[in-house]
Chains A and B, each alone.
Chain A
């Protein structure tokens, strides 16, 4: 991928007027999530490891923010801290100006693994949050509405084990959103899906996001997915997990699959590649390709 020869104006920073105007509007919206110098230490057998160090960023209302980084950069830890499932060792997270304290229904979460409740039907899964938090509210019509929004009303009375992986994650999204959270946290939600369902789910997610008042924080290790979905991408680096760069995606909306060949897309992809996969170092064992000798039982060449 050719890099811009001029370091002062790398072209992933160039935005068309429409894109620039969209980011203007974005920045004018309220700050919904403020992550303030968050750090996380884990105690391990060999002492303490610093998983996250001094991570700060803000998210505006109805923003789609992706978090990417190499493995071990603590992106999952970060989203678990936002969800309240893991406690930060330093700093704080403010949601609508109030510090978060433990998990709560104001932050919905979609996990990478399938976490639909297997003993509940699809409809009852979607009703779960409403019944827990607003017992007086009639949950069923709302659940039906959500099921028709995600196109699964035919499966209302099916059990999760009867659904495909993509359908399960659609229900998981509906279950989280039926709870009317302020933000939706997604931890590599499409990681286990095949390429086709993955692409379909991405378009689905954008449709949902566009049409309701929700802010999404999306963890992924797939650069194309991050670019396709996001307004901004937070790039973390590993050991310790720190913010490397917060990038505004210059690709215009609405997003389409064929935008992958546009110069903006290629520019930001090149930038992300450079940030996440820096030039190889001698210690990088994963990069070295071992020389594989031909086995003695193999006598002819296939090439």
Chain B
């Protein structure tokens, strides 16, 4: 299943990359011939190439030679695979160059702190809002308002307050996650089976102790699932967050590689983000199955 769903996109990418008559809008110059501005290894537009060939032929000069090629921003799968491999094996060029995994580790730390700080406040507040309707009425209108404000809009403000290093980046992830988190968690808690609360009350659980005794354990597997989804959202804020202040982490790696037109490296970095994200989610799903052995579809309803 997991592998199967990747085959189709990969196949599409391979066809576009390796079948010469599919797309390939450029020509890769092998021999410039008589065209003075052509150079070996240069990519030119197919129309330009054809025009120059016609001109050269009319003038009776040496013809340029070239093969169909895709634009520089679409490397072939094997090039990305090589880039992915060499990103971990060959040291980065330049004295301030960083390894891919170093920038990735920096990004993971930013995500971790952003998500942890958001959860530290968002989860308890969400549980309280989901349990006590008075608390929900008090906070939810503001949360709803705030959740529509794009988190990156606070970038400049975050830099002014928290400086140019990791502070504002973490803040953007917190702002982007927190308000959704309160609403999502609150909704999950509201959906618990009220019969369980009533059963607890008839067994002698009093007032506030309903929360730790019944509400939280009843909602826990769903809260865990929510957190997994919210962690994915936190990742989507990462790139914007890392552009704020000094560009760092995987974003720095990507922008840097794109500047030198090393697009294979850009794709490698993007794929790594995907692998880390999917990997984290799979691990968390596995851990969840261990943590909540009772959370199984029941055959008896």
Contacts and interface: CB of A to CB of B under 8 A. Distances in A.
Contact of A119 (B203, B217, B297): B217
Contacts of B296: 159, 161
Given A111-B198, A115-B195, A132-B213, A105 B204 contact: yes
Given A117-B218, A119-B218, A163-B300, A132 B294 contact: no
B220 A129 contact: no
The residue among B199, B218, B300 with the most chain A CB atoms within 10 A of its own CB is B199
A117 B199 contact: yes
Contacts of A179: 203-204
Given A103-B201, A159-B293, A117 B196 contact: yes
Cβ-closest 3 pairs across A and B: A105-B204, A161-B298, A115-B199
Contacts of B218: 117-119
Nearest to A111: B195
Contact of B202 (A83, A114, A165): A83
A132 B195 contact: no
B292 interface: yes
A274 interface: no
A103 B203 CA distance: 8
A116 B292 CA distance: 16
A84 B204 CA distance: 11
Contacts of B203: 105, 108, 128-129, 132-133, 175-176, 179
Contacts of A165: 300
A284 to B, nearest CB: 32
A113 B198 CA distance: 12
Given A132-B213, A165-B300, A118 B294 contact: yes
B221 to A, nearest CB: 8
B205 interface: yes
B214 interface: yes
Contacts of B297: 161
A164 B300 CA distance: 7
A109 interface: yes
A284 B114 CA distance: 64
A21 interface: no
Contacts of B201: 84-85, 102-103
Contacts of A108: 202-203
A115 B196 contact: yes
B280 to A, nearest CB: 25
Contacts of B292: 119
Interface string B58-80: 00000000000000000000000
Contacts of A114: 300-301
B194 to A, nearest CB: 10
A232 interface: no
B21 to A, nearest CB: 56
A107 interface: yes
A160 interface: yes
27 contacts: A83-B202, A84-B201, A85-B198, A85-B202, A103-B201, A105-B202, A108-B203, A109-B202, A111-B195, A113-B195, A115-B195, A117-B196, A117-B199, A117-B218, A118-B294, A119-B217, A119-B218, A120-B294, A133-B203, A133-B204, A159-B296, A161-B298, A161-B299, A163-B300, A165-B300, A176-B202, A185-B202
A237 interface: no
Nearest to B296: A161
A111 B214 CA distance: 16
B198 A115 contact: yes
A168 B292 CA distance: 20
Contacts of B293: 159
A159 B195 contact: no
A10 interface: no
Nearest to A165: B300
A133 B209 CA distance: 12
A119 B195 CA distance: 14
Contacts of A115: 193, 195-196, 198-199
Interface string B277-301: 0000000000000001111111111
A117 B213 CA distance: 10
A84 B199 CA distance: 12
B202 A168 contact: no
Nearest to A166: B300
A165 B300 CA distance: 7
Contacts of A163: 300
B294 A111 contact: no
Nearest to B198: A85
Contacts of A168: 300
A107 B293 CA distance: 31
A104 interface: yes
A134 B217 CA distance: 21
B189 to A, nearest CB: 15
Contacts of B204: 103-105, 129, 132-133, 179
A117 B202 contact: no
Interface string A173-197: 0011001000001000000000000
Interface string B165-199: 00000000000000000000000000001011011
A117 B300 contact: no
Contacts of B295: 118
Given A117-B199, A118-B294, 12 more contacts: A85-B202, A103-B198, A117-B214, A117-B217, A119-B218, A129-B204, A161-B294, A161-B296, A161-B298, A168-B300, A175-B203, A185-B202
